[in-house]
Amino acid sequence: MKRYINSALLYAILAMVGGVFYREFTKFNGFTARTTLSVVHTHYFLLGLVFFLLLVVLEKNLSFTGAKTGRVLMIYHIGLNLTAVMLAVRGVTQVLGLTLSSGMDAAISGIAGIGHILLGVSLVLLLLQIKRGVAASRS
């Protein structure tokens, strides 16, 4: 449970850093249009902070954590951070008005997509573990 709380704290800090960076970077560059950089804060806030706080509550009530939970959460961490970094990269290129080659543009989208896939797969695996925890607590 302590690891879940520490992860929630880390993602709270990253969410705040992402939000401040978005606000200050766009203001410094005089950028007023919509940018992908704006969603880094919300990804870290919801998929990081809120997610791990919910895991604390679930673990306290269901004791679902098993031998595979650490590996599943490692995939989740990798997916979330890969996604957030690629959102930041995409956002910075938008704010700076950089022209990307089609290959570079596709690479950024592809890596962000891999991050989302890792998030989705690890979320399903974790939900299955929680489901087993619910079934075990009822018996």
Residue 91 has pLDDT above 80, yes or no: yes
Under 8 Å between Cβ of 56 and 103: no
DSSP 37: G
> Mean pLDDT over residues 18-29, rounded?
98
Report the b/e string of 94-121 with b at 16+ CB within 10 A. Answer: bbeeeeeeeeeeeebeebbeebbebbee
Q: How many residues does the chain have?
A: 139
Distance CA 70, CA 72 (A): 5
Distance CA 90, CA 72 (A): 27
pLDDT, mean over the chain? 95
Q: What is the pLDDT of residues 103-139, one digit of tens each?
A: 999 999 999 999 999 999 999 999 999 998 888 777 6
Whole-model pTM: value is 0.93
DSSP 38: G
SS3 call for 33: coil
